[in-house]
Amino acid sequence: MADKKMVLKAIKIGFLGDSKVGKTSLCHAIMDYEFQKDVLSTIGDVKLETKYKLKDGNEIKLILWDTAGQERFRSVALTTLKAVMGIIVVFDITSEETFENVKVWLNEIKENLNEPYLVLFGNKIDRITERKISYEEALDFADEYNLKYFETSAKTREGLDEGLSYIINQVYEKIVNKDKKDDNTVIVLEKKEEKEEEEEEYTIGCFGRKKKKKKKKSYEK
């Protein structure tokens, strides 16, 4: 029987949390945009795309969904994130209200989404002197809900790379392990870059590199 191929085009990660917790700034930091102190609140949702290198060396497309935190946009945000594979729930360590509302967001996710992988970010760690939620309190909460917890700063990038790497690689491993249950399934990362005209095309998957012929142009995946 021929191997089945599951093509992984991209990993989609969504951000949820109250307004003004820094979701947009975190997304901008991931995109390597310049940090801006005053960012307008997101209305509806915003899609951002970049490339990301996994721990195993493979490069994938990373799609970020930045959503509005206002209650009137909550249903829109949840509808947008139905197709995501992982969600970063964000609160502001200088705001007790945003921390308390994490429970609300977790309940909304449980009721409306199809079990995405979750992590918790306590953002604005650069404003440590204004801190209202201690690391221990947030960590205890995360442990109660079986979440991995990271403290981050969109301004300094503290904790951001670590937290992002964790959720992306966990999502990827979850996808791979799920499809490995079928011994005939091969995961293929879809990534194309046009090269000079040649007679060959390569596909790179988790289980090796395959070559196939093509008449005119070639692409490397």
pLDDT attached to residue 11 = 93
pLDDT attached to residue 47 = 86
**Dist CA 104 CA 84 (whole Å):** 19
- pLDDT tens, residue order, the chain (221 aa): 445 554 567 899 999 999 889 999 999 999 987 766 655 555 456 789 999 999 888 888 999 988 875 555 466 667 778 888 999 999 999 999 999 999 999 999 998 888 899 999 999 999 999 999 999 999 999 999 999 999 999 999 999 999 999 999 999 988 877 655 555 444 445 544 444 444 444 443 433 444 444 444 443 43
**Dist CA 171 CA 162 (whole Å):** 14
pLDDT attached to residue 79 = 75
DSSP β-bridge partners for residue 197: none
What tokens does 61 get? 């497309």
pLDDT attached to residue 138 = 98
Determine the straight-line distance between the first and last CA of the chain, rounded to whole angstroms. 24
pTM of the model as a whole: 0.74
DSSP result, 3-35: PEEEEE-EEEEEEEE-TTSSHHHHHHHHTTPPP
pLDDT attached to residue 159 = 97
